[in-house]
Amino acid sequence: MRAVVQRVAWANVTVEEKRIAEIEQGLLILLGIEDADSQDDILWLSNKITNLRIFNDKEGVMNLSLKEVDGDAVVVSQFTLHANTKKGNRPSYIRASKPKVAIPLYEEFVEQLELDLGKKVGTGIFGADMKVAFLNDGPVTIVIDTKIKDL
């Protein structure tokens, strides 16, 4: 699994002119899934994101987690995170899972994140043409790949 995690002042997701998810302070999580992903990746990534110390404490130091600031989260599926741009100018998405594999893993990740946070998490609609708006706070943007845990 690959995630782009952005600390946001607010974020929302719109599909067909209908707002389906909206948060204030928290994290916008763009999530890409590949066939090699498993329950272990879900558990590891959810725990990592939930406990990332990227929110400011009273001294303005990034020292608090999403849980500690009682922030919200919204998760948006994004197969393009697994784009291969090595050859030519048209990205290949061969590593991105097809919906049959990706949807259950995406849903399990959202459920695990809700468990770890103790609250509901906003989502996009898998495979839909979504409009994602947000105000990156900081800016703080972190890329996490469960296949590269030592970075």
In a domain, 24, yes or no: yes
**CATH code, domain with 31:** 3.50.80.10
Given 14, 50, 80, 141, the catalytic residue: 80
pLDDT in tens, 37-81: 999 999 999 999 999 999 999 999 999 999 999 999 999 999 989
- Count other Cβ atoms within 10 Å, centred on residue 87: 8
Beta strands in the chain (DSSP E): 2-15, 18-23, 26-32, 55-56, 62-64, 72-77, 122-123, 130-145
pLDDT in tens, 69-114: 999 999 999 998 988 888 989 988 988 999 999 999 999 999 999 9
Q: What is the pLDDT of residue 11?
A: 98
In a domain, 150, yes or no: no
- Is 80 a catalytic site residue? yes
Strands 72-77, 26-32: pairing kind: parallel
Task: Quote the DSSP letter at residue 96.
Answer: B
Helix axes 99-117, 39-51, angle to 10 degrees: 40
In a domain, 151, yes or no: no
Range of the domain at 85: 2-145
- Report the domain count for the chain: 1
In a domain, 112, yes or no: yes
pTM for this predicted structure? 0.94
pLDDT tops 60 at residue 151:
no
